[in-house]
Chains A and B, each alone.
Chain A
Amino acid sequence: MTEFTLNGETIESSAPVETPLLWVIREELGLTGTKFGCGAAQCGACTVIVDGVATFSCVTPVDSVAGAEVTTIEGLSPDGDHPLQRAWIAEQVPQCGYCQSGQIMRAAALLAETPRPSPEEIRDVMSANLCRCGTYSRIFRAVERASEEV
């Protein structure tokens, strides 16, 4: 049994302790906004925020987040109107959209740490997440737009 905070609520997971946090979030708890892409910390589709740090949930055993605060795309804002989410819509970023929860969560961790990142910082940090549709330039623009609001 692993206890942690997910999007502000206390959670008890009965999954085996080595189960990747990603599967606990998606399949045990039913929050499917966080995606499976590679299982190897390569693509970032599974990015969630653990105690303020953008984290690959696909390689994070659930017992390693015991007592931690985990935030997923569902918990980023009450009504889906976080400045990043509004910027994502304003810049019409997503194509297939599958990687975008992870992109937004990584950007959210960046802006929480560095509210006014330089273009180089944005490019550097966002390079951890893959987008096969090639929306990178719109991601950059959306992060910049949101950074002017937070």
Chain B
Amino acid sequence: MAAMASLTRRTLLKTGGGLILAVAADGAVSVASAQDAAPTSGAAWIRIEPSGTIRILFPSTEMGQGSSTALPLILAEEMDANWEDVVVEQLDADDRRFGNPAFGNLLYTAGSSGVYGYFDALRQAGANARALLIDIAAERLAVDPSELTTTPSLVVHGASDRQIPYGTLAQGDVPVTRAAPAPLKPRSAFRLIGGDVPRRDIPGKSTGTEIYAIDVRLPGMLYAMVQRAPVEGETVSAMETGAAEAVPGLVQVVPLPDGVAVVAETIWAAQQARDLLDITWTETSAARSWDDETTLADYAAAAEDLGADAAIWRAAGDAAAAIDGAEQTVAATYLSDYAYHAQIEPMAVVARVDADGAEVWAGTQTQTWTSRTVQDVLDLPPEQVRLHMMSMGGSFGRRTARMQEYVRDALLCAQATGQPVKVTWTREDDLRHGSFRPAAAQHMRAGLDGEGRLLGWQHRVGTPSVIAHFNPTRWAQVEPQDVISMLGSEGRFYAIDDFAAEHVMTERRARVIPWRGIGASYTAFAAEAFMDELAEAAGRDPFDYRMDLVADDPRAVALLERVRAMAAWDRPRQDTALGLSFAGYGDSRAAGVAEVALDRESGRITVPRFWAAVDAGLIVSPVNARSQIEGGIVFGVSSALLERVTIRGGEVQQENFYDYEILRADALPEIEIDLADMDAPPAPVGEAGTPMVAAAVANGFHALTGVRLRHMPFTPERVLAALA
């Protein structure tokens, strides 16, 4: 009440074209003129049109996670906007006014951070916008604001039975330009949050009308295919282009820093001509020595060398002393291979270079780094970069890099030809020239007392810095703390007094980049498989052993108990066995049980069932959150059983889905998810399902066979070798 009365009265604004509302980082809302709205993109957080249409900005980018619905919906909830009136507008600029608070206001969609990063600011903005509309209505009706309330998209004066639509309030004189911070709704008043509002993008994605970067077509557009160096660091030493140039429709062969582009009038001509290039590459790159097997062996040696330098990721007490002084010491080394994103839309981008600068149609996880890529390649000021952030056909971390070479190549081709150019990567390009989840070797050590109680825990992760490679600009700010390489090794949900998670920073021997779940996709494998080994050493049930370590965390206790009941953990199975894992992502906790089956002849593991109990705080859209978590589990099963990139002589050996298999529908587990309904801040959802999976499978395999699997993926050959 007091807040509503304390208006700042400034000049009267005339609004013919509607009301534009700016939102500050703290959610403060003020009326903006059209000129104040973001000049490069025309973007504003909220535009209320006289027709009643309410345009709400979507500042992230959409790769399938659903935040293009969830983020505007959070604002609409507090604003008391009728959701049917809301039109979602994509932010097409690196405009830090709309940046992600979880990433220092960069425009960066990653780490499952959209909802939790923007949540408080969007709620406050919506509440303030509603208060501002009430204040305007109070002036118009000559009543005290305290007499007014709202129903969706209407301000209501109950005493006189009058109401004014938001659209009407957006016309004519606006007597107030700012409201003081307004109170937020209680959860019990939510109409949209938690209410399973359908995603806005689903009808288009069910009718073939959603437009991805690969679908963009411009008048006069040419098509490019790119031949990149097979090994990082090599360049063209000689090239014969005669055969390629004889292909009808070929326009130009364009040299690139690390390869060659062929530009043609049709994509088929470009593809044929590209395949006819006869290129001799230099053979001087040190990367020619890269080999994934020797790499992993070297990483393991480094992780196991307790004297090797390491960056402390998290430490408490004195882990080494506690372990060395313990009655029983347990140690094991876990390995995981390079993994590929396998997003179904390969890299594709359309670029135009003209007198006004450059225009780019791209699906990436970041307006910031895509804009910076364009600026760097063409030496342009930011205001000459026009972005169109397209819906992505999957990403999972693939489209995050500081320098986006597919964008660069399209710009160079457009510049060379003077026409708009679409670059399309084939699947083979996308895999051979992919960037990967890093290979990792993790050495685990723990000390137990005579009763088997855990006294000290040391988790040494031998893997390169991912950030140093995919975003050197960022690395300069955070070195030596690499969240991409190390997340998930914190042991944050277990009470362990003497604890150390250490990054043994090894040499990079492949292109590396974030991958769904980032570090947690392999650190949780090692940590949770090792936890089972400790339970075994202590002679305890894996559940009971973990329960002792989470006793002070009621949310963790609740999840473990729930998944224990869901899976009927104590019921013996015939021919299958159960494995437990407790991981999560960031502040999200996830407890999973895998049912594991084995064909002993072929060594093929299957996972007929998977149960998960997940606590991701407040859930904006349960129907979408379940979809995300289930997808994350499928991703985890696929990675645990199948996915492996191998490198010989610096070359990626896989080329398509026939030799880089991902999980198909016939291997899908029956998945049951219990999603906690918490009155707690929202936490990550998109990546919460993945990290727990590999250890649950490995632990289930041990329960079935008595054998530990310590090298992911658990391919049939490795399974047979382990059983032999």
Contact = CB atoms under 8 A, between A and B. Distances in A.
Interface in B438-488: none
Contacts of A26: 215
Contacts of B165: none
Interface stretch (B184-192, B498-506, B654-662): B654-662
Given A123-B665, A130-B657, A36 B346 contact: yes
Given A130-B664, A139-B665, A94 B205 contact: yes
Interface in A98-139: 98-101, 104, 123-124, 126-127, 129-139
A136 B634 contact: yes
Interface in B333-378: 341-346
A5 interface: no
B631 A72 contact: no
B671 interface: yes
B394 A39 contact: no
Interface centre among A85, A98, A130, A134 (most CB of B within 10 A): A134
B198 A92 contact: yes
Contacts of B666: 123-124, 127
A137 B668 contact: yes
Most chain A beta-carbon contacts within 10 A, residue among B210, B344, B670: B344
A15 B394 CA distance: 30
B199 interface: yes
B207 interface: yes
Contacts of A80: 203, 206-207, 209
Main secondary structure of the interface of A (DSSP, over half): loop
B661 to A, nearest CB: 9
Contacts of B214: 32, 35-36
A43 B212 CA distance: 18
A120 to B, nearest CB: 10
Nearest to B633: A134
A67 interface: no
A70 to B, nearest CB: 14
Chain A interface bracket (under 10, 10 to 19, 20 to 34, 35 or more): 35 or more
A64 interface: no
A132 B623 CA distance: 19
B201 interface: yes
A47 B194 CA distance: 36
Interface residues of B, number: 63
A16 B665 CA distance: 36
Nearest to A100: B205
B64 A95 contact: yes
Contact of A20 (B64, B209, B268, B664): B268
Given A40-B657, A92-B627, A15 B393 contact: no
A42 interface: yes
Given A95-B64, A97-B204, A127-B664, A132 B394 contact: yes
Interface in B630-679: 630-635, 656-658, 662-666, 668, 670-671
Contacts, number: 173
A9 B204 CA distance: 23
A128 to B, nearest CB: 8
Nearest to A38: B427
Contacts of B663: 134
A6 interface: no
B394 A98 contact: yes
A2 to B, nearest CB: 13
B665 A32 contact: no
A37 interface: yes
B385 interface: no
A123 B64 CA distance: 23
Nearest to B657: A42
Given A37-B346, A39-B427, A42-B656, A96 B392 contact: yes
Contacts of A131: 344, 665
Contact of A97 (B198, B210, B346, B630): B210
Interface in B226-249: 248
A97 B627 CA distance: 13
B202 A92 contact: yes
B624 interface: yes
A108 to B, nearest CB: 12
B217 interface: yes
B128 interface: no
Nearest to B206: A88
A136 to B, nearest CB: 4
A134 B266 contact: no
A104 B206 CA distance: 8
Given A27-B267, A35-B393, A38-B657, 4 more contacts: A35-B345, A37-B427, A88-B206, A98-B392
25 contacts: A15-B268, A32-B208, A32-B217, A33-B207, A39-B426, A73-B207, A73-B208, A89-B198, A92-B623, A95-B628, A97-B64, A97-B202, A123-B666, A126-B665, A130-B657, A131-B665, A132-B341, A132-B396, A133-B64, A134-B631, A134-B635, A134-B663, A136-B634, A137-B671, A140-B665
